[in-house]
Amino acid sequence: MRSTASQAGEAAHQLQMVGRDDAVLDEYLSTVCRLRDGKIVDIGTYCQTFPA
C-alpha cells in the first residue's frame, strides 16, 4: 500500500491480486479523503479492475 498527501486531502492506494485455478482478480483500490479545517469531510473509494 502507498499513501499520497496534499493540503486538500490524502489517499491510500492498494493493489489486490487473488487467484485460483479458474479465476484471477487483479484490481487497484484507492480511498480518497478530502479535508477541511483538519477534519475529513468526504471519503470516496474507487476501484479499477484489469481483464485476466
Q: What does each of the 52 residues of the chain score in pLDDT, given as a tens digit?
A: 788 888 888 999 998 888 888 888 889 999 999 999 989 999 999 998 876 5
Q: Strands (DSSP E) along the chain, which ranges?
A: 2-5, 9-20, 23-36, 39-49
Give the angle subtended at the CA of 26 by the CAs of 23 and 27, to the nearest 5°.
140
Instruction: Report yes or no: 14 and 29 within 8 Å, Cβ to Cβ.
Output: yes
Q: How many Å is the Cα radius of gyration of the chain?
A: 14
pTM of the model: 0.67
Helix (H, G, I), strand (E, B) or coil at 7: coil
